Structure 1
Amino acid sequence: MNVMLIRFKKRNLLGFLIVLVLFSGHGKFETLGALGISCMLLATASGIAWHALELLIGLLSTAPEAVNGHSLVHGDSHHHGIDMDHPILALNMTIIAICIKEGLYWITKRAGERQGSGLMMANAWHHRADAISSVVALIGVGGSILGVKFLDPLAGLVVSGMILKAGLETGYQSVLELVDAALPTEQLEPINQTILQVKGVKGCHRMRGRRAGSNLYLDAHIVVDPFSSVSAAHGIGENVRHQIHKSHPEVTEVFIHIDPAYVEFSPDVMDQNEGSKTITEQNSNMSVGEGNVQAIVSHILSSKFPKKFKVERITQHTLQGKMVLEVEVTMPPEIMIREAMDTAKEAEKEIMKAASNIVHVNLQLRLGRPIPQFRYI
């Protein structure tokens, strides 16, 4: 049983790593690197704090004359690996080390901000941790020269707190990225404004962003005209994608979901629908599925209006559970316009009687050539 459990856990771990890397690209490796550096920062802070406490406890337990004397200068006191036989040289070298490490911190930090890389930001704090450690060494050397031994451990405790804070912040951010936590709404507001400026977009909602290293993945639902064609709505979505990549280069990939705008049916449409329902009470409680529309409309027109209509195309729009139909038909050329209009109105009423979820029917007479039949690829 234990062997099977171990194998199961190994498989789960392997599957987690595969999904972690392949689903969001290799940006997760960068996040794992940042998490590793944050662990190093936490270990560094713990080491500095532990050593500072040891020194402080040792100094507090030592007699005052020993503290103010020279017994601790050459005794067991720790001086960060600095040769205390040449204090001026030690001071100069420590100052140079601080300047170099602090310079590396700012260079790496700016590069990380420019690239949006959490790994580089964590590495920058690693440089600053080295610089702060050198500051502790500088304080220790200065305290040794002045004979004030408490400066070294006290400075070490303060510095360990600073490094601990940086390590916790970096680690927390890395964990959020690993679990695909959503970014705060205020960070996505500039992208939301970019989307709303695209022509044809009526609104944007349910936007969600997540980071994988320096990569930003975005999910957004855009609202378009519900009567737009599929190709037109797709074109609007592609325009949104293009504008996001153009205005926000940090976005690696955008997943666009297209939703129809919410519409409010006018009172005359609803009154017309209610009037049709009262004619045939039996059918008023029936609803038609989207797959049955073609057969139902064709049956009604062929059975009740024989030799007057030929269905060429049916376009159906589903809005808040209601259905709007656009029926394109052809009629005999000898029929009069007035007769065609009256027959079309009767046919619309008959179709609306067929189901309760059909709220409007629009019969359109085809006069020109039909749309050519394309071959799907």
Structure 2
Amino acid sequence: MHQHASLNRSAAIASIGTAVFLLALKGWAAWSTGSTAMLGSLADTALDLVASIATLLGVWIASQPADDKHRFGHGKAEAIAAMFQIVLISISALAIASRAVEEFLAGSTVEKAEGGIAVSAAAIVLTLMLVAWQRHVIRKTGSIAIQTDSVHYQSDLMLNLAVIVALVLDHYAGLRGADPLFGIGIAAWLGWGAWRASQDVLDQLMDHEWPEEKKDRFLQVLARHPDITGVHDLRTRTSGNKDFVQFHVWVDPNMTVREAHRVMDELEHRLAVEFPGTEILIHPDPEGLVDEAGQAGLDVLPPIRVNLDQS
């Protein structure tokens, strides 16, 4: 967990450094060219900086250990930081679209396109390097805050490429209106990226169940234990990069408390190998005991009976 926290912080700090450098470059380019597309790119980078700072704060809080007031840890701080980013991206998209419409109606033209093209090309190279590091960190930690930040920077690749195309068409090909039209397209792209990123964030904040394939893999591990004859009331959720699971299991009603405890320890050990870092809560029941809804386990995974009733 300490290594994951360090990786997440490194990705957030790299994101902040990249945003600061690009903010200075794009500020000069937007001032010298008067390009709406470049101005949109500048606004996006400014929000990148704010969002990256929020990401750093989020992953730092999420890495703090559980305490008396937060017994399940601070993992949801990542989701909150990611939601803050999504709000900023949405605001940025609306502002860029509004500016683009104004420039299109006014018939504004682009000047000194060479500088804007050079800056956008440099931004693409730096962003590619950052996204590569972010993907490495996400594979290692599964951080949703870094994932959302990476989605934003991946959209920046398309954004910077669109700026180059807009400048070339407007300044060199003489297609007046190409720059603000590309600005509108950039705004739409950012809005779509914010919508996609919001799905995973809302799932965490609302304690959405694991994907079915992950739950099936979890049940398969339980099915391999010879002393378990049924599983029911399985409940799962994710907070930050930590998973939580609770469920009831059927065991021989003639088992002693000590024997049942041994079985629970064995289950926890097997699950820890397949699902490291997962917090697991197991409740043993005598075989045949029905749940609160009055339903017994179902024959789903041999050799055990499995009931995924969430009541």
Structure 1 residues 158 and 89: CA distance shift in structure 2, 3 A: closer
Q: How does 1:187-226 map to 2 (within 5 A)?
A: 187-226=214-253
The whole-number CA distance in structure 1 between the counterparts of 2:67 and 2:210 is: 20
Q: What residue number does 1:261 align with?
A: 287
Corresponding position: 1:231 with 2:254: no
Match of 1:209, SS state, is: strand
Structure 1 residues 162 and 240: CA distance shift in structure 2, 3 A: farther
Structure 1 residues 259 and 185: CA distance shift in structure 2, 3 A: farther
Higher-Rg member (1/2): 1
Structure 1 residues 203 and 162: CA distance shift in structure 2, 3 A: farther
Task: State the structure with bigger RCO (CA 8 A, min sep 6), 1 or 2.
Answer: 2
By percentage of residues, which structure has more helix? 2
The whole-number CA distance in structure 2 between the counterparts of 1:39 and 1:96 is: 27
Cα distance, 1:213 vs structure 2: 0.8
Contact 2:151 2:197 (C-alpha < 8 Å) held by counterparts: no
Q: What residue number does 2:95 align with?
A: 47
Contact 1:39 1:171 (C-alpha < 8 Å) held by counterparts: no
Question: Which consecutive unaligned segments of at least 5 residues does structure 2 have?
Answer: 1-65, 295-311
The whole-number CA distance in structure 2 between the counterparts of 1:21 and 1:109 is: 33
Deviations 1:274-307 (CA, angstroms, capped at 9, x unpaired) = xxxxxxxxxxxxxxxxxxxxxxxxxxxxxxxxxx
Corresponding position: 1:145 with 2:172: yes
Q: What residue number does 1:248 align with?
A: 275
Contact 1:48 1:156 (C-alpha < 8 Å) held by counterparts: yes
Aligned residues between the structures: 224
Match of 2:73, SS state, is: coil
Corresponding position: 1:26 with 2:26: no
* Aligned partner letter, 2:142: G
Match of 1:158, SS state, is: helix
Q: What residue number does 1:106 align with?
A: 132
Runs (4+) off by over 6 Å? 18-21
Which of 60, 67, 91 lines up with 2:117 in the alignment?
Answer: 91
My pick for the range that moved more, 235-244 or 162-171, is 162-171
Match of 1:22, SS state, is: coil
Cα distance, 1:124 vs structure 2: 0.7
Corresponding position: 1:166 with 2:193: yes
Cα distance, 1:21 vs structure 2: 6.8
Tell me the TM-score normalised to structure 2 length: 0.64
Percent identical among aligned pairs is 21
Contact 1:226 1:261 (C-alpha < 8 Å) held by counterparts: yes
Structure 1 residues 162 and 21: CA distance shift in structure 2, 3 A: farther
Deviations 1:167-190 (CA, angstroms, capped at 9, x unpaired) = 123233223322323334333211
By percentage of residues, which structure has more strand? 1
Cα distance, 1:19 vs structure 2: 11
Cα distance, 1:22 vs structure 2: 0.5
